[in-house]
Amino acid sequence: MIWDDRCGMLHSDHHRKGASRISALQSTTTNVSFDGGSKRIVVPDLCNIDTQVEMPNVNGTRKKLVFVVNAPSFFVSHRLPLAQRARAVGFDVAVATPEGDGIEVIKAEGFSWYPIACDAGGMNPYRDLRTIWDLLRLFRTLRPSIVHNVTIKPVLYGTLAARLSGVPRVVNAIPGLGYMFTADRRLKRWFGIVMYRLFMRHPDMRVILQNEEDVEFVTRHSLASAEGIRLIRGSGVDVSIFQPTPSKDQPPVIMQTSRMLADKGVREFIQAARILKSRWPEARFLLVGPLYPDNPSAVSAEELNAAHREGVIEWMGYRSDVAALLAKTAIFCLASHRDGVPKSLLEAAACGLPLVTTNTSGCKEVVTDNENGLLVPVADARALAEAIDRLLADPALAKRLGDGARRRAEREFAIDLIVNQQIALYCEPVLHN
């Protein structure tokens, strides 16, 4: 086994064969439409590969991997197991985020943490230039072999800084295309396409997407080369922590956990609760999640508190004990307008809960209608209310769907499987995009 310092990657028959096996055995074919017709593209689908990757020290040196994430709390909730596994197979792991909750957890895990400026939802050119400058200085100081960017701004500015700094490999994780690409926002969509085309360029880059619609969109608009796209459905869930509980609280609890955004269907959830209160007055409707005031889709604290005072919902804000709340929940909802693969759905599925969610990208990757949950149209509060009512009225159906959700979580979304799929990307042969 030889580490090539020119490209910062391992070369060995074992790893070449492993990468070839991944590409050959699992792929997703997507039809991409253009003005002049359409073509079929094939991208590796790693979602059912049980890869066991070992990355030993090379010549006694631990190669450096840097995660760039827009919030320390998001790193802790979505990427900590991956960082732990990367360290176990031989990487020296560092984490770059803005200030915020979660930094002490990162440090307590033994990872080096570096502060950067990064506004998750803002459009301040000065702050964005500061983000690029911070990353340039960091990469030139640490000289990482791989940079793993997570979420939109780290992906855009982290890729640019990595290219300018000579970082050999970039892995970009895009959990969902987000507000900029939601329907009926043509100017923002055009701006987002230009930004991706301008910034997301690197000679050896992998782009992790979580659902086939995002693969189609990214490829159709030439935001990334199909050769570098990898389909990994979600961030995974620890099925040993999120487990079914035999008994539920009475009265029944219906819960949605998400950021407090209109794009997450928060207003539809509130309206569905309002519709159902006359038929199920004892039912409790919990909204759990933080405010995101800088996001254009933000739902205000005033609106949430008003619904709370009305007795329609209980807004609980950010909670760190989601597993304990799910243990008391009868039905889990997520009325999102568009998503990657929502971790909240995976956690609820692992807890054996019947799922009610929208028939949109990301959510339908987790839920098959009438198999492990119910799918409803996007932005349709009445259909959401009818699905919840159906499950409240039919405990046997709710039990069957919840059992199906748990089985699928174990089979397709267990954290070890997802983590190994991402570690495999660090060991693939070099691309020359």
- What is the average per-residue pLDDT within 38-47? 52
Range in 1-15, 36-50, 53-67, 116-130 with the lowest mean pLDDT: 1-15
The string of pLDDT tens digits covering residues 93-149 is 999 999 998 999 999 999 999 999 998 766 778 889 999 999 999 999 999 999 999
- What is the average per-residue pLDDT within 178-185? 59
Q: How confident is the model at residue 254 (pLDDT cuts 50, 70, 90)?
A: very high
Give the model's pLDDT for residue 21.
36
Q: Which two tokens stand for residue 369?
A: 């209608």
CA distance 193 to 179: 13
- What is the average per-residue pLDDT within 74-83? 95
Residue 8 pLDDT more than 60?
no
Please, what is the end-to-end C-alpha distance for the chain in angstroms? 25
Q: Between β-strands 9-11 and 2-4, what pairing exists: parallel, antiparallel or unpaired?
A: antiparallel
CA distance 269 to 276: 11
Residue 288 pLDDT more than 80?
yes
Closest by CA to 148, choosing from 26, 227, 232, 28, is: 232
Q: Where are the alpha helices (DSSP H) in 143-185?
A: 152-165
- The number of helix segments (H) and strand segments (E) in the chain equals 16, 17
Q: Percentages helix, strand, coil for the chain, rounded to the nearest 5?
A: 40, 20, 35
> What value does the mean pLDDT of the chain take?
86
The whole model's pTM is what? 0.83
CA distance 48 to 61: 32
Give the model's pLDDT for residue 386.
98
**How far are the Cα atoms of 103, 109, 254, 329, 349 from residue 352, in angstroms, in the given order?**
31, 30, 14, 10, 5
CA distance 241 to 213: 30
For the chain, domain boundaries: 2-236+415-426, 253-412
Residue with tokens 């590796």: 44
**Are the CB atoms for 80 and 113 separated by under 8 Å?**
no
The string of pLDDT tens digits covering residues 182-195 is 545 677 778 888 88
CA distance 386 to 276: 8
Residue 257 pLDDT more than 60?
yes
Note the maximum CA span of the chain. Answer: 69
Give the model's pLDDT for residue 13.
40
- At the second CATH level, the architecture of 253-412 is 3-Layer(aba) Sandwich (3.40)
Give the model's pLDDT for residue 45.
57
25-44 burial, b for 16+ CB within 10 Å, e for fewer?
A: eeebebebeeeeeeeebebb
CA distance 285 to 386: 15
Give the model's pLDDT for residue 7.
35
Range in 118-122, 166-170, 352-356, 377-381 with the lowest mean pLDDT: 118-122
The string of pLDDT tens digits covering residues 375-424 is 999 999 999 999 999 999 999 999 999 999 999 999 999 999 999 999 99
Q: Which range scores top for mean pLDDT: 45-49, 348-352, 361-365? A: 348-352
**Are the CB atoms for 357 and 336 separated by under 8 Å?**
yes
pLDDT-above-90 percentage for the chain: 70
Superfamily of domain 2-236+415-426: Glycogen Phosphorylase B; (3.40.50.2000)
Length of the chain equals 433
> Do 253-412 and 2-236+415-426 have the same topology in CATH?
yes
For 35, residues 6+ apart whose C-beta sits below 8 A from its C-beta are none
Residue 40 belongs to what H/E stretch?
strand 37-44
